[in-house]
A and B are shown apart, each in its own frame.
Chain A
Amino acid sequence: MIPASFDYQRAASAEEAVSMLREHGEEAKLLAGGHSLLPLMKLRLATPSVVIDVGRIRELSYLRDGGDQVSIGALTRHRDVETSELLQREVPILAHVAGLVGDPQVRHRGTIGGSLAHGDPASDLPAVVLALGGTLVVQGPGGRRDIPATEFFQGFLETALAPEEMLVEIRVPKARGGWSYQKFNRRAIDWAIVGVAAVRNGTTGVALVNMGPVPLRASAVEQALAGGASAADAAALAAEGTDPSADLNASVEYRQHLARVLVRRALEEAGA
């Protein structure tokens, strides 16, 4: 479990990180909490020649009340998201789910931005931000731009981030209505075999964990609900448009079954 050799650089600001990314291009990887990147490096599945440590950029760790939304610095740790009174009050699903990521060690090191930028379809937070209809703010050499969460996740571990860009902020609308997060796993520390985030905020947003190569919105379910379908009828559509893979924990068929059951339970709990 020894990574291939690499150079280590530490960025003091987002600007510096972006200029380091410019210099090293696709050979570089950003290191935040390290809980996704370092295991891949130790298994030599990732062999970046330069690791740019952004984990100590304090100015990107914050939670701010922005009126009808909450802005979260990309380097805010899961533990701070989990315990934020602002989020617990205004976006309770996000605080709750941050408390389900990995184990306490992971939550004290891992960051919300790291989790989203990694784009793992099995992670909890991408689905929550999708269901909330959040926005991701990225910084590049030319300044900042906003990317809707729905457009951010593009392929397996691929996002809309350009090689020279860094995720700096996540904005989520306040969502004090009904919500539910169904995480189905075998051990508390595991990724979800299937997960479902449901948020009622005017309309009902539903997103799925581990039901395809990217974090997904359950569009068929959302449309059925918008058309007045019952929770049970809408949930029956949960596997539509999904493309889950099979692994040691679950076959494709079982995942699709779980998606239907868990979406129904999520909608019932959220009061949709």
Chain B
Amino acid sequence: MTVTGVPADGRIGTPLLRKEDPPLLTGEARFVEDLVVPGALHAAVLRSPHANARIRSLDISGALASPGVVAAFTGADLREEWAQPLPCAWPVTADIKIPEHLPLAVEHVSYGGDAVAVVVGESREAAVDALDAVVVDYEPLPAVVDLQEALTDRVVVHESLGSNRCYTWSLIPDPAAVDSAFAEAAHVVKERYVQQRLIPNAMETRGVCVVPQPFGGDYTIYSATQIPHILKVMLGIVTGIPEQKLRVVAPWVGGGFGSKLNVYAEEALCLALARRLKRPVRWTEERIENAQATIQGRGMIQEIELAADRDGRVRAVRVNLLADMGAYLQLVTPGIPLLGAFLYHGVYDIPAYAFTCTGVFTTKTATDADRGAGRPEATYAIEPAMDALAHQLGLDPAEVRRRNFIATEKFPYSSAAGLVFDSGDYGPALDQALELAAYEATRKEQQDRRNAGANKRIGIGLSCYVEMCGLAPSRVLASLNYSAGGWEAATVRLMATGKVQVVTGSTPHGQGHETCWSQIVADRLGVDPDDVDVVSGDTALSPAGMDTYGSRSLSVGGVAVWQATEKVIAKARAIAAHQMEASEEDLELVGGSFQVKGTPSRSMAIQAVAFEAFTAHNLPDGMEPGLEAQVTYDPPNFTFPFGTHVAVVEVDSETGDVDLVRYVAVDDCGNQVNPMIVEGQVHGGVVQGIAQALYEEAVYDQDGNLRTSTLTDYLVPSAAEVPSFTLGHTVTPSPTNPMGVKGVGEAGTIASTPAVMNAVLDALAPLGVTALDMPASPQRVWEAVERAKKAAEGEER
């Protein structure tokens, strides 16, 4: 870390300690479960043990008779509560199939964990105990687990839809160009990769508490959500309660990784129960429920083909995806592959592009956004494919990449997929990463060990990545059939005493908004960051917002704060000029005071200006009192962070154990507001990507049972499993926004998975291993080595 001893005045670019941390570290921070709500009832949800079954009958009388139980309901009991089913806001095609998704299933359950009944008790224990007394008679039906099996429609998850094919979405701007590139190619690489399902595992599970207000039919909904603003809209639609009657509060939220970017059955349930029972109703998710009933990530089969010329220059890329939707479409389930759909050419100048994705229903938990959402998948396809190309050509993986980089002078670069990359400079990031990884020396050590026949083999993996952040220009979202905009709102308000209040629509769940927004305002106004207060996560206090996901906070919400601050400064300048009897052009804002250029003794502090705006005793004619500005910023383009990561692994070819011994991350997220937070985001992101490569997998058996529903079986790695990371940065400011920022929340996750897997395969290549599914568990590696050995023996004979 670079924190200790570094002077941090809080200006942009300094590692100011996080304002969020004292309450988090002392336990003062209050999460939904911590809120004391007198008289609140506790809901417990009964879930299907079957992946696919008809409900023959459901008897809740035993639960109703249990001690401490106030009410219990079946799906049929609550059917009339729903004005609309749970929403899917991203119907990616006109003919997409959308199954009806009710908060409680009525006749049919479609995955293990589907909610079938709810018990409401005076205590959580009473409600949970009474679940055992609900009697459900299921008629089990066959599960549909495998994607290719699902496509045969031998078993259809939702009979009313007639097929498991949810949609097919294509992006092939010039099919003839792709065909001719493959026809003329000197080298063709064809690879198949499996993106295993991941469980996001936010540290805080979900929780919701709905409090009916005493008068007026209003409800306050406390939820562990990333999206209070979107949730308010959607809960109004689902329950039929007018939106203005709803207030959503996201208090301290303990992580999300995308899993809380959703509208969940339990949120609607608690609202409907509070309406029906006229009492506060709360629900806290258990960890096993979190594995089953909160969305999962990834879940794809990817086919990628590269057409390259004799020199290894890639002329076309063709991608076919099968994407596992799970049993239902949650908020943005079908759109997740589209977030990667434009990036399967990676950082390479590939003139012909073809992408097709088919969404498939299975009897599993719904998938949706999981850190990176679409972009880790894209990177995991192109980067291992580039290694396969290097292998085919007998070239160093770094050299193949260099030959194909989009040249720096080509930016802004119009990609074959249809995006305009606003900026990029890929070579220096690769150079720096190779140097930090001691690439040449490590290659030599690798060769020495191979020559010596050492059991522990070294592998080196590269991953050059680009992502699209700053979700999103609203018009682009319209073209993708997304049902909302991509703007963000901010208000900056100087109060009578000169303190600053920032109201942001971007709602944090661990990122550090309060610190960074304070730094932006402090930097521009020249005030102490401790004098800046940030209000967020409450739709009553910050009515306009599009919330937090997709590494969008800084490059959309932060820019809105910047622009609102600039507007405040403009008004303050007018007031100061009026008061100082100077012209506005002659004033400059230095260290928190307006000074007359060349005459610094004539000055007026910003706090004094704020007081003048408050009293309104002497403002320019026609000026409104008060010193505040509101901005709603709709970004003109995405931003395009990039970088190179290098992983060095040691693979024990006897046991299959993979030891990650060195990890280098060079990231370019443009200008950094707080380098310490950037480092933290990279660290966490990298570990999460390493987790996909080596540890995590949501495993389902053939009957559709989730076998990894506890943290004993689902292997989330800790600090003990990873080395200290070596971080580097290049800085290529984004020209898309005035701050030159891009976003960094997902970069580590996007880059690291292919780096690690490329390293493992690099170590095993001399043994004849050319493919390996994730996670590269010891048994999988051992089996791959054994298979390759047997194949080699067969060839010798």
Contacts and interface: CB of A to CB of B under 8 A. Distances in A.
B9 interface: no
Interface stretch (B112-120, B122-130, B351-359): B122-130
Nearest to B717: A187
A1 B288 contact: yes
Contacts of B721: 186-188
Interface in A241-258: 248-251, 254, 257-258
Contacts of A190: 712, 715
Chain A interface helix/strand/loop/mixed: loop
Given A1-B288, A249-B779, A189 B654 contact: no
Interface string B652-669: 001101000000000000
B699 interface: yes
B779 A251 contact: yes
A2 B717 contact: no
A188 B718 CA distance: 8
B524 interface: no
B655 A258 contact: yes
B717 A257 contact: no
B718 A186 contact: no
B654 A2 contact: no
Interface in B70-122: none
B190 interface: no
A261 B655 CA distance: 8
B168 interface: no
B129 A1 contact: no
B707 interface: yes
Q: For the side of the interface on B, what is the size category? A: 20 to 34
Contacts of A184: 655, 657, 778
B199 to A, nearest CB: 14
B611 interface: no
Interface in B660-718: 694-695, 699, 707-708, 710, 712-713, 715, 717-718
B287 interface: yes
Interface string A1-39: 110110000000000000000000000000000000000
A257 B782 contact: yes
B718 A187 contact: yes
B654 A261 contact: yes
A186 B778 contact: yes
Contacts of B286: 1
Contacts of A258: 655
B176 interface: no
The residue in B657, B778, B783 that gathers the most chain A C-beta atoms within 10 A of its C-beta is: B778
A1 B287 contact: yes
A193 interface: yes
A10 B634 CA distance: 63
Given A2-B124, A258-B655, A187 B715 contact: yes
Contacts of B715: 186-187, 190
A248 B720 contact: no
A2 B125 contact: yes
A180 to B, nearest CB: 15
Nearest to A191: B712
Contacts of A248: 699, 707-708, 713
Interface of A: 1-2, 4-5, 43, 184, 186-190, 193, 248-251, 254, 257-258, 261-262
18 contacts: A2-B129, A4-B129, A5-B129, A184-B655, A186-B695, A187-B695, A187-B715, A187-B720, A188-B721, A190-B715, A193-B778, A248-B708, A249-B777, A249-B778, A249-B779, A254-B779, A254-B782, A254-B783
Interface of B: 124-125, 128-129, 286-288, 654-655, 657, 694-695, 699, 707-708, 710, 712-713, 715, 717-718, 720-721, 777-779, 782-783
In the A-B complex, the 3 residue pairs with the closest CB atoms: A188-B720, A254-B779, A2-B128
